[in-house]
Amino acid sequence: MSHNSDGLLKKIPVRRGGVLLFTLWTITIGASFAWNFWQENKAVLNQARSEAKGLFHKDETYRRWAALHGGVYVPVTDYTRPSPFLAHVSERDITTPSGRNLTLINPAYMTRQVLDMTHEHSKVYGRITSLQPIHAGNTPDAWEKKALQSFENNGDDEVSIIEVIEGERYMRFIRPFYVEDGCLRCHEQQGYKLDDVRGGISTAVPLDHYYALRQKHFISLSIWHLSLYLFGVAVIVGSTRLLGTRIRENETISKELNLDRERFRSLLALADLPATTEEELIHFALDETIRLTESDVGYFHLYDEETETIRLFAWCQKVMAQCHMAEQNYLYPLAKAGVWADCVRTGRPAIHNDYAALPNKKELPEGHLPIKRHMSTAIMDGKRIVALSGVGNKEKPYNKGDEQQLALYMTRAWEIIRDKQSKDTIKEQEAGLRLFRNLIDQSYDAIFIISPREGRFLDVNGRACEMLGYSREELLQLGVLDIDVGLPKDFSMEAYVKELRQTANHLMESVHKRKDGTTFPVELNIRLIVHENTEYIIAAARDIKERQVIQKKLQQHQRNLEKLVEERTATLAQQTVDLEKSQTALQHLVEDLNEANEKLKELDQLKSMFIASMSHELRTPLNSVIGFSSILLNQWQGPLNEEQEKNLAIIQRAGKHLLALINDVIDISKIEAGALPTECETFDLQPLIEEAVDTVRAEAEGKGLVIFQETLSMEIHTDRRRLLQCLLNLLSNGVKFTDDGSITVKVVFDDSSQFVTIIITDTGIGISREDVPKLFQPFARIAPPGSSIYPGTGLGLYLTKKLAMDILQGDILLESSPGKGSIFTIRIPTRINT
């Protein structure tokens, strides 16, 4: 980073110096131009003034000449008439002896005439003027008056001004003239003395041709200054550029030197990296390459030439953090890889400095980091491509140096890994061999490698030495025949090997002899193997002395076991018979139960039929009872005495009670059978409550009770008939058990809830807390002791609760206290699900 800030520090003064120089140059040229122009202007005006002054001097000279002579006599003509202003002068007009008339022309008259003539020939104006003019035409204008006053009072001797006269610019110029001897002849009477300011000669010189001159000079001045200015600017810019380039070149060189140093250092660091895993090494190399090529991202992938597949191996940390591609380590066929794998296809490094403009690139997968620039190279091991590595998103374009860096660095990384791998492999192989040898030595079996020709031991394991009591060296001097004493007398190695060649594996038992002469039984597992065109016999020997002992014991155990099994089998057979019996009994039981169940079902049907026919059978006689008692009570068949009427009323009431009972029983049986359909409709709750109240009103008012209503109009969707039935039951219940006071119906609805609550409060007898649950049971009769029995079916509240819960999907609550009254709360959904 240090070289960057150095460069910055050097760059700033160069640019600043350039700007400063430029500014100075601009100011200098500007100032020069302004000064020159000002001088030029001054010179031109001075020239004009000189002209005016010249004119003045000329006029003044004429005037003085005339004054010297006290005026001159000229012949009288039309142009020169005797001046009326000189009438006071004696001998103004004279006649020559020849008779010509002459008149006196004084200097003023003469000057006026001269100046008028001058104006006729040129644009120059001129006149004489005075603060005390004799000739009214000589009266000064404002500027002339001011000038004349300044001549008199301050002793100034000339005044000039630039003014526009008749559309043209003029320089007006005035100088005084003084009273001389000659003047007094005419002007003494005005009180002038010698050397007084008599007046002034005022001239006006046209400035246009002076300005034209100034314009010409201005143009040449401009051209000259502009050329000089541009030349200077070119010199400044050129030199600044040159200087900047020099400095930048120096910077680049030193930067590259630094980079090279860094690269070299980094390469050294790579080689010196302590024992790390491949991943760490590659990551280190990758991060270094990214840093040294000033890239943003990088990757390193392995390549398998045979299968033409790329194994994604490592991404730099940044890619790992920013890329959100699902899989991160998988095989990728070369054919499917994008332009980033071109280096593998061509074998040459690929630089893509404008990635977006590449014609044949594939779309990046979703979640992939956006790529601006990219450079990749194939990593070679000899002539083989073994990997590819790339970096991307450098700020500046990638160049040859970056490419070399990438190739050099990643190739080196690969070499280190390869060397490390091969070293590791050898170490691993050695370690593996040692482990293997150790395992072989520790094997439970004695292992012999035997030459097939003479049966000599070529190698043996530790167990073999241990089992036979020889050292390894001793055993390697011996052969099969020295230790195996179980072989047949006619054993021939040659024949045996032939036999072995036919079978894969030969299993046999034999007897081995130890060094001390003792013998032990062995089981041998022998096979013939071919290794590098040479035949070997491998024999594994296992001491089976213990096994033989165990086998004998096992045989004994087996016999015992067999006996035991026989006994147990007999017991089990008996148990099975018992179990079968139990099962049969159980089956009978289940059959009985099924039968009972069938009977129950029949009974249930019977019950339904019974209720249906009971309804009919009971209603038919009730029709007569209620009908005829009604006819009699209505006195259709003649008047009744008081007692007859009373008794008939009892008959009618009993009949109606019986009818109500039947209706309740039918409803309950239907609800219990689930056969009472819900008939939903949408309606207003308020009229429903009024209908219920109206139905019981007569009865209530007959008892002197007041019914209060606190209802509200709201739509609900439920079974209207059943809700009315519930409310009627609760209301008539309240009326029935209240002797004085009131019944209150109140509707409570909260918008947020999906339930409406109807509260029916009475001031009746009430019941105790423990009796509350009983009240909703069928045929519950909770009468306070000593009170008369209240009429009713005994099913009303039971039915009401069933309707409220099963049909209206709500609930009923009761709060009550004896002597104070009861509060029935029915809470139902405003919209029920059907």
Partner 1 sequence: MKKKVLVIEDNADNLLLITYVLERSGYTVVSETSGEEGVKAALREKPFLIIMDIQLPGIDGLETTRRIRASAVNTMPIIAMTSYAMRGDRDKTLAAGCTGYFEKPIDPLTIMDQIHEIIGEKAT
| Residue 834 binds to partner 1 (criterion: CB under 8 A) | no
| Residue 481 binds to partner 1 (criterion: CB under 8 A) | no
User: Strand pairing partners for 681?
Assistant: 718
Q: In the structure encoding, which two tokens stand for residue 336, read together?
A: 């499917």
Count of residues interacting with partner 1 (CB under 8 A): 23
Query: Which residue of 312, 323, 386, 666 would you call a contact of partner 1, by CB under 8 A?
Result: 666
CA distance 243 to 245: 5
| Residue 803 binds to partner 1 (criterion: CB under 8 A) | no
Q: Which is nearer to partner 1, 282 or 665 (CB)?
A: 665
DSSP structure string for 474-516: HHHT-BHHHHB-SS-TT--HHHHHHHHHH-S-EEEEEEEE-TT
Q: Are 344 and 388 in contact (CB under 8 A)?
A: yes
Q: How far is the CB of 793 from partner 1 (least distance, A)?
A: 15
| Residue 254 binds to partner 1 (criterion: CB under 8 A) | no
Q: How far is the CB of 774 from partner 1 (least distance, A)?
A: 29
Calculate the alpha carbon distances from 40 to 35, 46, 49, 468 in Å. Answer: 8, 10, 14, 135
Query: Which residue of 227, 634, 647, 753 would you call a contact of partner 1, by CB under 8 A?
Result: 634
Query: Which residue of 153, 620, 713, 788 would you call a contact of partner 1, by CB under 8 A?
Result: 620
Q: Which is nearer to partner 1, 520 or 628 (CB)?
A: 628
Q: Are 330 and 428 in contact (CB under 8 A)?
A: no
Q: How far is the CB of 664 from partner 1 (least distance, A)?
A: 11
Query: Which residue of 655, 764, 766, 796 would you call a contact of partner 1, by CB under 8 A?
Result: 655
CA distance 689 to 492: 121
CA distance 202 to 127: 5
Q: Which is nearer to partner 1, 625 or 832 (CB)?
A: 625
Under DSSP, the state recorded for 554 is: H
| Residue 677 binds to partner 1 (criterion: CB under 8 A) | yes
| Residue 624 binds to partner 1 (criterion: CB under 8 A) | yes
Map tokens 């980073």 to a residue: 1
Q: Which is nearer to partner 1, 32 or 630 (CB)?
A: 630
Single out the segment in contact with partner 1 by CB under 8 A; choices: 132-140, 404-412, 454-462, 630-638: 630-638
| Residue 674 binds to partner 1 (criterion: CB under 8 A) | no
- Residue 171 phi, psi (nearest 5): -105, 115
| Residue 805 binds to partner 1 (criterion: CB under 8 A) | no
Map tokens 């541009």 to a residue: 230
Q: How far is the CB of 810 from partner 1 (least distance, A)?
A: 22
CA distance 642 to 626: 19
| Residue 612 binds to partner 1 (criterion: CB under 8 A) | yes
Quote helix, strand, coil % in the chain, to nearest 5. 55, 20, 25
Q: Which is nearer to partner 1, 184 or 632 (CB)?
A: 632
Q: Which amino acid is at 763?
A: T
Map tokens 């006053």 to a residue: 149
Q: Which is nearer to partner 1, 421 or 613 (CB)?
A: 613
Query: Which residue of 254, 623, 644, 753 would you call a contact of partner 1, by CB under 8 A?
Result: 623
Helices 720-736 and 685-702: crossing angle in degrees, nearest 10, is: 30
Q: In the structure encoding, which two tokens stand for residue 16, read together?
A: 């600043």
Cβ partners under 8 Å of residue 662, min gap 6: 614, 615, 618, 619, 622
DSSP structure string for 757-813: EEEEEE-S----GGGHHHHTSTT-----TTSPPPPS-S-HHHHHHHIIIIISS-EEE
| Residue 661 binds to partner 1 (criterion: CB under 8 A) | no
Single out the segment in contact with partner 1 by CB under 8 A; choices: 305-313, 372-380, 387-395, 617-625: 617-625
Interface map 568-607 toward partner 1 (x if CB under 8 A):
----------------------------------------
| Residue 383 binds to partner 1 (criterion: CB under 8 A) | no
Query: Which residue of 22, 25, 628, 755 would you call a contact of partner 1, by CB under 8 A?
Result: 628
- Residues of this chain that interact with partner 1 (CB under 8 A) are 612, 615-616, 619-628, 630-631, 634, 636, 655, 659, 662-663, 666, 677
